Amino acid sequence: MPDPVPIADYAAIGCTRSVALVSRGGSIDWLCWPRFDSPSIFGRLLDIDKGGFFAIHPAVEHESKRRYLDGTNVIETTFTSGSGTARLIDLMPVMTEEEKRTTLTPFRQLLRRIEVIEGELPIEIIYAPRPDYARITPRLQHRGDSIHCGWGACVLNLRSDAKFEIDAGTATSRITLKAGESRTFALGFDDHTPAVFPSITDDAIERTVKFWCDWSSQLTYDGPHRALVLRSALVLKLLTYAPTGAIVAAPTTSLPESIGSVRNWDYRYCWLRDASWTVTALYDCGFSNEGAAFLDWLLYSTRLTHPKLQMLYDVFGESRVPEKTLDHLAGYRGSRPVRIGNDAHGQFQLDVYGELLGAVEEATRRGEALDRDVQHLIRRLTEIVCERWQEPDAGIWEKRGGPRQHVHGKVMAWSALDSAQRIARRCHVKIDDARIANAKAAIKEEVLTHGFSTRRNSFTGIFDDEEVDASLLFIARVGFIDPADPRMLGTIDAIRAELGRSGLIYRYDTRETDDGLPSGEGAFLACSFWLVEALALAGRVDEARTLFADIARRGNDVGLFSEEIDVHSGEMLGNFPQALTHIALMTAALCLAQAEEKGKAEPRAT
């Protein structure tokens, strides 16, 4: 049995419907088809013994190095041994809508090409699909130049110009290639008949590279760390479900927040908070189409809960995503249980109203028009905030220990009303401005009275408490108080002192929890980037610059970031790649660039 692959050793490819994770060693160990939250086809990520995989690598000792082709989500891995060098190209074909109308392709497709560019190399290919989260070992059959298998209405066809031997649900090929020789492997998935065989021509590679390069060319950011900003934007595009405009938090489930932990959650859904931030980050960097698509999805997805908001939905707007455990899977490095679905969908999280209306405001600022339905939704959202802002909620971190009076939630309720007022002025939306103004004043008074500790000179995570929480860094970001206000500076210092470790920031004090689960997790990378932004807004630009550079080096070799990181080992933890981390990187970079240009950045809400 092979050793578990570190999370950082994976790269992501995708087609804006689903994502595959490819290891540095050339093995696809995670792929869910036909969409992000579908059952896995390859799941070795969560069970190294029986999860299934698709590996292509030299059959001799070798070293590997990889990169994304410039401006794309196409990964190139170079294998070097004493006898030769080979290059592996991995991608999921992407086409424009016009190309889809004129090209016959499988419903979903994965394309891999191995080519020897120097010397001679023996290559091993192992194809071991294990559909339905490894609950099925399919019967593989030769059909011409294809290896076929099916279950239910689903069909997989692997086409190749290599010869395979089949044994017990696994197909293996061992070939020797000389310089200039190559083999192509095209895996197609259909869940309807007739199934379409995948193509093994060069066209799909060329079209996909062009698609990503054309999309990347929209980037308007030209400041420090531009390459990381572009890579983050490409990750966010990968996590956008193109048919609806939904944006998932991550393409994986149950990667642990601490190795061996039970804190393993399914992130393959659309969190309104994360999606709203994604829209804003992409808008700020020149990508506007995703914002309009998200607004369309929002109206559709909230139709059953309207005007109340859930904090997460699936990519088609389904509001119920019941949580289950897959007890037959061993989990990543023994971290169990493996979960699918997420019971947090039923929580009341007050802050989501602020993030959502902030995204709508950003869209209107960029010229998006609001139709009658969106205007009605805005009015009802403001009414709900005015009615419910005094209630306790589950908080941004989705603890399962019951609702509390979270300061971040109150601040974001204030921000929701603040955004609504600007939307109303800009787009002539009729709202109860007097009621909103009164609610804003009441929220601010409550936060300053019950959410600030004079003893610590810091805002606190919970009303009338003394503990700090990294979400408090948002207080200045949304214009609630001046970023250089002594109370905000005191909060920054308290968070760094209490939650900072090795230059990284924890979400909250992990030694004590109130959610009934064992304590312990990694430092939260998004919070660390939020600190960069808070420092830049406060005018502490040198500190912000140094901190950003330190966090940026924590990404893997191709610029991808997970949810968390172990401060002792530097090991990545949590679901991967994580949208929230890449969003925070982008917004921190933009804020830092503005601060370096002007000496101090401006809060996003002003």
- Decide if 1 is inside a domain: no
What pLDDT score was predicted for residue 606?
41
Q: How many domains does the chain have?
A: 2
What pLDDT score was predicted for residue 296?
82
Same domain, 63 and 172: yes
- Decide if 369 is inside a domain: yes
* Cβ contact 324:340 at 8 Å: yes
* Cβ contact 24:4 at 8 Å: no
Enclosing H/E stretch for 502: none
- Domain end (from 213, 238, 261): 213
Same domain, 181 and 324: no
Least confident of 104-113, 129-138, 324-333: 104-113
Mean pLDDT of the chain: 92
- Decide if 603 is inside a domain: no
Confidence class for position 605, pLDDT limits 50, 70, 90: very low
Same domain, 536 and 587: yes
pLDDT at 198 over 80: no
SS3 341: coil
Question: Long-range contacts: 426-435, Cβ < 8 Å, 24+?
Answer: 426/364, 426/365, 427/364, 427/369, 427/370, 427/375, 429/370, 429/375, 429/378, 429/379, 430/375, 430/379, 431/378, 431/379, 431/382, 432/382, 432/383, 432/386, 435/386
What pLDDT score was predicted for residue 539?
94
Strand 75-80 and strand 108-128: pairing?
Answer: unpaired
Q: Determine phi and psi for 202, rounding to 5 degrees.
A: -75, -15
What pLDDT score was predicted for residue 292?
79
pLDDT at 326 over 90: yes
Same domain, 463 and 541: yes
Q: How far apart are CA 606 and CA 437, in angstroms?
A: 17
Same domain, 201 and 226: no
**pLDDT per position as a tens digit, 270-288:** 998 888 898 889 999 999 8
Same domain, 193 and 276: no
- Decide if 606 is inside a domain: no
* Amino acid at the residue 180: G
- Decide if 605 is inside a domain: no
Same domain, 397 and 273: yes
**pLDDT per position as a tens digit, 504-540:** 999 998 665 555 566 678 999 999 999 999 999 999 9
- Domain end (from 178, 213, 248): 213
SS3 237: helix
- Decide if 604 is inside a domain: no
Confidence class for position 568, pLDDT limits 50, 70, 90: very high
CATH number at residue 587: 1.50.10.10
Same domain, 138 and 257: no
CATH number at residue 187: 2.70.98.40
Same domain, 255 and 203: no
- Decide if 59 is inside a domain: yes
What pLDDT score was predicted for residue 596?
87
- Domain end (from 162, 188, 213): 213
Same domain, 257 and 200: no
Same domain, 135 and 93: yes
Of 304, 307, 314, 396, nearest in space to 348 by CA:
396
Alpha helices in 85-167 (DSSP H): 97-102, 131-134
The domain containing residue 235 runs over which residues? 218-598
DSSP string, 248-259: -S-S-B---SST
Residue 141, beta-bridge partner list:
148
Residues with Cβ within 8 Å of residue 452, at least 6 apart in sequence? 458, 459, 460, 487
Residues with Cβ within 8 Å of residue 80, at least 6 apart in sequence? 62, 63, 64, 65
Of 499, 474, 467, 505, nearest in space to 488 by CA:
474
Q: How far apart are CA 200 and CA 158, in angstroms?
A: 10
What pLDDT score was predicted for residue 402?
83
Entry pTM: 0.95
C-alpha distances (whole Å) from 486 to each of 225, 457, 483 are: 30, 8, 9
Same domain, 316 and 453: yes
pLDDT at 79 over 90: yes
- Decide if 171 is inside a domain: yes
